[in-house]
Amino acid sequence: MSYEVRVVGRKSSEATMSGKKEELMPNMLKTFSLIPLFLLLTHSALAHHSRSIFDQQRTVTIEGTVTRYEWGNPHVHVFVETESDSREAVVWAFESGTTTMMRGLGWTKDMLAVGDRVIVEGHPVRFAGRTTAEVVTIQKGGITLVNSDLEAVGIEGDGQDAPRAESLNGTWYVYSLTEARRFNNLDNWSLTTKARDAVAAYDDLSMNPQNECGARTSPWLMAFPGVQKIEVGDEVVSIRTEYDTVDRLVHMDQDSHDGADYSYQGHSIGWWEGEVLVVDTAKFSDHRIGNARGVPSGPQKHLVERFQVNPDGRSLTYSFVLADPEYLSAPYTDAVQSEYRPELGFDPIECDLDFARRFIDQ
């Protein structure tokens, strides 16, 4: 027996425009776990399809040989060949998160190689007859390379010698899956009847634009775990996201959205309140999941965001107020944390259509 399956039990709090630049909301600080970075995690809930395709109450443990290691988006995959009870060759496909998420957790494109003997544990898909699972742990040579069953990763230890950010300029890593999952928990949202109907009709495997490598929009774009790079200029602040390869331009020399075109990412203007960057974005075009998973957005969508380096110099609080009267009966507010990770650099990898469509027929 080569594998086993086990059951394991700009301007106001409503994000409306006015003639004055008012503070949108109090700074929202979140605590985060100080868990060593060698304890790694990934869940595909935040990739292009819902985590619900995996049975979180069951695990499969596979011992075998790596036949392929795909370092790509929207998922990193590990393929492992083992033997069935009848001694026939069986290949299991294990899925993790995006390259940008995994880079921040210590994964590399050279971590595994064809021919490596490994023991992989994962949550299998719910579809009968499929040999596909979500990675929980990977062991090689008696060493656990990956432990993926954690809730969040934070800054490692006290880190007295760790680099500190002097401004928003730099590379930041959004690390908390707990916060990102909260964003997509629709129990936290006040939805209109139109939005509820859209959610009820939504099928993630057939209707998600990300199946065609479409990019997320903010604020979901900003809450997604992974690497972001901020470059502050006098006229423009650039906010780049590594996985969706979106380059958001915040116009610091403009004070209205007049004349701007509608687009998925909208039109952003910004200003400083002390050391806090406030970004006001409007002119969003229609998007099937422009507000949250299953929740569309429309041209009334209006987003006000705040970017603030925390006093420790090692983390950043991103907070926002999102309004869209067509789909939200009340504005949605939230915040997520990033950590300062200049050593990561910036390495965007385009989404692969074959990877993105891998689960559509399941």
d(CA 83, CA 70): 22
**Predicted local distance difference test score (pLDDT) of residue 16:** 37
Contact 133, 124 (CB under 8 A): yes
- Kindly give the pairing relationship between strand 246-251 and strand 267-273: parallel
**Predicted local distance difference test score (pLDDT) of residue 215:** 87
Rounded alpha-carbon distances, angstroms, from residue 77 to 95, 97, 217, 245, 341:
5, 9, 25, 20, 25
DSSP state letter for 328 = B
**Location of structure tokens 């059951």:** 7
**Predicted local distance difference test score (pLDDT) of residue 231:** 98
Angle (CA) 142-6-137 rounded to 5° is 35
Looking at the DSSP assignment, which residues form a beta bridge with residue 335? 319
Q: Which regions of the chain are under pLDDT 50?
A: 1-48, 149-155, 157-158, 362
Contact 336, 202 (CB under 8 A): no
Three-state SS at 75? coil
Helix (H) or strand (E) holding 356: helix 353-356
The Cβ of residue 298 has, within 10 Å, a number of other Cβ atoms equal to 16
**Predicted local distance difference test score (pLDDT) of residue 192:** 98
Structural domain 44-147, CATH architecture: Beta Barrel (2.40)
Rounded alpha-carbon distances, angstroms, from residue 46 to 51, 106, 275, 293:
8, 18, 31, 10
Handedness of CA 162, 164, 169, 172 (dihedral sign): positive
pLDDT in tens, 265-307: 999 999 999 999 999 999 999 999 999 999 999 999 999 999 9
**Residue 228 token pair:** 């972001």
d(CA 332, CA 14): 9
d(CA 303, CA 218): 8
Task: Write the Ramachandran bin of 278: left for phi over 0, alpha for psi from -120 to 50, otherwise beta.
Answer: beta
Question: Nearest 10 degrees: CA dihedral of 191, 303, 290, 188?
Answer: -40
**Predicted local distance difference test score (pLDDT) of residue 309:** 97
d(CA 241, CA 222): 8
**CA 287 from centroid of its chain's CA atoms:** 18
The residue type found at 36 is P
- Sequence-distant (6+) residues with CB within 8 A of 196 are none
Rg of the chain in Å (alpha carbons): 21
| Residue ranges covered by each domain of the chain | 44-147, 170-356
- Sequence-distant (6+) residues with CB within 8 A of 354 are none
d(CA 250, CA 331): 22
Q: Which of 195, 188, 186 is nearest to 301 (CA)?
A: 195
pTM, 2 dp: 0.78
Long-range contact set of residues 158-161: C-beta below 8 Å, sequence gap at least 24: 159/314
**Predicted local distance difference test score (pLDDT) of residue 3:** 39
Cis check for the bond before 219: say yes or no (omega within 30 of 0). Answer: yes
Looking at the DSSP assignment, which residues form a beta bridge with residue 64? 118
